[in-house]
């Protein structure tokens, strides 16, 4: 069963509603470790492992989350958002918090998260969750966020809610990645260009 089908099935089971489902990939970086948060150049690429988020509106101000990988539920109030002791909800709540601080109007929502980006393996599972959340909220509430706005909202969530002063590379690669391409990104100006990557039988090992 695909992850889209798994998220849909679990969403219907938990909430009995029709979800919007979005996908955000993890990433690998080939050149430029630690230079992204020092405003240097990096050469990342999106990978074929992703986070999937299903979302629907609620009629109140409650946020109800379910993480399939942990088999855990979490509930919060949209107008009283704060970092949690469980940590994993922070990457979702932080994005909602940042969007509200930017003046976007949200209401409560239900969400199911699943995927196959390995946690703690250097493939930016947290950035994939944040970007998926920003895209899902943009679709659900018709916010019309641009790709770069999604990237910046995700980075702000990481800085101000999760407490990690990361660079912008992880989120940028997740949102701007293209199949068969690497991205040369200037993390200072955010100028970027795509270059084809044909490994011809070689593999990247993390």
- Predicted local confidence at residue 1, as pLDDT: 84
For the ranges 43-52, 136-145, 157-166, 186-195, which has the lowest average pLDDT?
Answer: 157-166
Residue 170 annotated to the active site: yes
Check pLDDT > 90 for residue 28: yes
Other Cβ atoms less than 10 A from the Cβ of 17: the count is 13
- Predicted local confidence at residue 121, as pLDDT: 78
Start-end of H helices in 21-142: 90-101, 125-140
- Are 152 and 170 within 8 A, CB to CB? no
Which carries the bigger pLDDT value, residue 124 or residue 178?
Answer: 178
- Predicted local confidence at residue 120, as pLDDT: 80
Catalytic member of 59, 170, 186, 198? 170
Average pLDDT (29-33) is 88
Mean pLDDT for all residues in the chain: 94
For the ranges 47-51, 153-157, 197-201, which has the lowest average pLDDT?
Answer: 197-201
Q: What is the per-residue pLDDT across 76-130, written as a single tens digit (0 to 9) for each?
A: 999 999 999 899 999 999 999 999 999 999 999 999 999 999 888 777 899 999 9
For the ranges 50-54, 124-128, 201-205, which has the lowest average pLDDT?
Answer: 201-205
Check pLDDT > 80 for residue 9: yes
Measure Cα distances from 3 to 21, 24, 67, 95, 150 in Å.
Answer: 10, 12, 13, 22, 22
**SS3 (DSSP) at 165:** coil
Tokens standing for residue 166: 């990361």
- Predicted local confidence at residue 37, as pLDDT: 87
Q: What share of the chain is helix, strand, coil (3-state, %, to 5)?
A: 35, 25, 40
Strand 181-186 to 41-42 pairing: antiparallel
- Are 41 and 185 within 8 A, CB to CB? yes
Closest residue by Cα to residue 45 from 29, 60, 57, 31: 29
Check pLDDT > 90 for residue 175: yes
12 CA to centre of own chain: 22
Dist. CA 28–CA 40, nearest whole Å: 17
Closest residue by Cα to residue 129 from 114, 139, 144, 140: 114
Can you tell me which residue has the tokens 């690669």?
Answer: 173
- Predicted local confidence at residue 135, as pLDDT: 98
């Amino acid at each position: 069963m695909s992850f889209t089908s798994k998220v849909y099935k679990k969403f219907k089971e938990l909430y009995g509603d029709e979800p919007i489902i979005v996908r955000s990939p993890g990433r690998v970086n080939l050149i430029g470790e630690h230079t992204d948060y020092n405003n240097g150049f990096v050469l990342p690429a999106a990978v074929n492992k992703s986070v999937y988020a299903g979302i629907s509106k609620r009629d109140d101000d409650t946020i109800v989350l379910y993480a399939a990988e942990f088999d855990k539920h979490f509930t919060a109030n949209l107008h009283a958002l704060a970092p949690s002791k469980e940590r994993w909800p922070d990457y979702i709540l932080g994005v909602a918090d940042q969007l509200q601080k930017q003046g976007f109007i949200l209401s409560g929502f239900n969400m199911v998260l699943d995927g196959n980006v390995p946690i703690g393996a250097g493939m930016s599972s947290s950035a994939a969750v944040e970007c998926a959340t920003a895209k899902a909220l943009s679709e659900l509430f018709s916010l019309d966020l641009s790709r770069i706005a999604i990237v910046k909202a995700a980075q702000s969530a990481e800085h101000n809610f999760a407490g990690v002063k990361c660079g912008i590379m992880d989120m940028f690669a997740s949102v701007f990645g293209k199949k068969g391409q690497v991205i040369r990104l200037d993390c200072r100006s955010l100028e970027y260009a795509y270059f084809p990557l044909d490994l011809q039988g070689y593999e990247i090992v993390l």
